Structures are given as C-alpha cells and as structure tokens.
C-alpha cells in the first residue's frame, strides 16, 4: 500500500474567480490590519465578528485600567496579522481564512 502526502488543497482545484476574490480580500484585510489593526477592522472585513468585537473592546476599554497596554497589544496583533495576510499566497489565504475561517493568526 502506497502512502501519499497529499493535503486537502491537492485534492481539489480552487476556481479562478474565488482566487481573485481571495486576492482582493487579502490585500484589503492586510492593509487594514497594518493600519487599523487595534480596532479589528480587518476582522470585520473578513466576517469574523466576534474576534473583531473583542479587539475593539480591548482597545477602547482596557486603556482605563492598563494605561493603554491592551491597545498596544491589539495594535501589535493587528500588525502581525496584516503582515501574515499579505505574505500568504492567494491559495493559502483562501484555504486558511475564507474556507477554514481561522480567526486568530
């Protein structure tokens, strides 16, 4: 019996229109993550409402208690996620964030 190392992405072909849509979403979400990451705009854009609300609440509410530390952390997370979005291939972005709905990193 022969063992194969195929992943799910090797078993099906992603339609070109979905890859084009993933590319445009990747660019917009990446830029929003880098510029407005602390507010979770990139999460809302990708349809991740709960993670977006968590980021907004931490950014807007925790400065009262942590002297802005929560907002800084959310900004860094947004920056990292924006960079991750932009460095992934369109196919990887589609599989990870659109098809599998991975909400964080």
Rounded CA-CA distance 35/99 in Å is: 25
Q: Note the pLDDT tens digit of each residue in 24-74.
A: 999 999 999 999 999 999 999 999 999 999 999 999 998 888 888 999 999
Burial class for 80, CB neighbours closer than 10 Å (0-12, 13-18, 19+): middle
- If one counts every other C-beta atom within 10 angstroms of the C-beta of residue 42, the result is 27
The pLDDT of residue 47: 94
Q: Token pair of 19, please?
A: 């890859």
The pLDDT of residue 12: 67
pTM listed for this prediction: 0.82
Q: What mean pLDDT, rounded, does the chain reach? A: 87
1 pLDDT higher than 50: no
Report domain extents, the chain: 40-105
């Amino acid at each position: 019996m022969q063992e194969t190392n195929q992943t799910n992405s090797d078993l099906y072909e992603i339609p070109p229109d979905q890859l084009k849509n993933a590319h445009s979403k990747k660019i917009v979400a990446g830029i929003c993550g880098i510029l407005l990451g602390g507010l979770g705009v990139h999460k809302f854009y990708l349809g991740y409402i709960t993670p977006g609300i968590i980021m907004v609440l931490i950014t807007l509410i925790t400065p009262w208690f942590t002297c802005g530390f929560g907002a800084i952390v959310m900004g860094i997370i947004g920056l990292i996620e924006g960079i991750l979005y932009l460095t992934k291939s369109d196919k990887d972005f589609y599989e990870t964030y659109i098809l599998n709905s991975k909400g964080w990193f």
